[in-house]
Amino acid sequence: MHCLARRWTLGAVGTLLLVCAIGSVVWAQPSSQAPTPRPGERSLFVSVLDKDGMPVDALSQGDFVVREDGMAREVVRAEKATEPVTIALVIDTSASAESFIPDMRRGLTAFVKTMGGKNPIALIEFGERPKVVTAYTLDVQALTNGVGRLFATKGAGAYMLEAVDEACRGLKKREFERGLVLVVTAGGPEFSERYYQDFLPIVRGCGSTVDVVSFDVTPPDLGDSGQRNREQFIDLATKTSGGARFSLLSSLALDDTLRKVSSQLGGQYRVTYVRPERLVPPDKTEVSVRQAGVTVRSTAAKGKQG
């Protein structure tokens, strides 16, 4: 087939137009398709925060360093995370929370109005044994109504560890990539009967970040076995899941804290790297950035990975 090649200039970009004898025209255009995943690709959701706990913007692939058991891995992509966040709100309604309930309702109402509609959210309370108040939904009004039904249970003790366990078991049954268990606890007596280490495997396996907001108006009594057990659980659950603990000296600070959590979720990055083929998965994955003075937290994306 005889073809004539001519070069046409469109602005600053030269595009080659091939005009063939049969009259066909072919334009050389860049592909709009997503890059083909490479074998061994893994993804992490990464929060990079400044000294005030706010997201650091404008980072790119070259800013991130991923290590597995100390070995550097090739980072192939880094972009702002746009996946919905599946959120379990786990709220203390024990007797210890009674004076905090109005502030909790106000802060949680603003949170579900900000995050609802695009992110599936469930509401779970733990005045006595954990109870689902509102099942996972995108319906902001249903969530707002659920928040309005939060009341402290007279004489009830808190079972925070069982409530987190319940939330994680529920999440394991759902399909999602990005998840958050957000606990709001008033502190005080803790009646969970199992040792905190018993709960950690299910927390690690649910594929979700665990954040805990605690009202520390009165410091926890570490001489009490229940409270000590809860504090050990919070420390390990947040660290191993890539989450954080927010210790508040007043429930009035809950509004700002929940706004900060929303901002952190909105500013996350999805960082993709390549893991060489190996029989044994790594014990530890670490993410850092080439920038000083920031905090970096990461959680592996849930679901099938390369």
Structural domain containing residue 126 = 85-266
Instruction: Give one DSSP letter per residue of 44-103, joined into a string.
Output: EEEEEE-TTSPBPP---GGGEEEEETTEEEEEEEEEE--S-EEEEEEE--SGGGGGGHHH
Assigned domain for 7 exists: no
- Return the CATH number at 189: 3.40.50.410
Assigned domain for 258 exists: yes
Distance CA 181, CA 199 (A): 14
Task: Chunk the chain into consecutive blocks of 10 residues (it has 306) and report each block's average pLDDT, rounded to whole numbers.
Answer: 40 38 39 63 97 96 97 97 97 96 98 98 94 97 98 93 95 95 95 91 91 93 94 95 96 97 98 87 93 96 72
Distance CA 300, CA 43 (A): 6
pLDDT of amino acid 22:
36
Residue 212 in contact with residue 120, Cβ under 8 Å? no
Within 10 A of 107 (CB to CB), how many other CB atoms are there? 22
Assigned domain for 119 exists: yes
Assigned domain for 279 exists: no
Assigned domain for 93 exists: yes
Number of domains within the chain: 1
pLDDT of amino acid 33:
54
Assigned domain for 120 exists: yes
Assigned domain for 287 exists: no
Assigned domain for 176 exists: yes
Residue 74 in contact with residue 39, Cβ under 8 Å? no
pLDDT of amino acid 278:
74
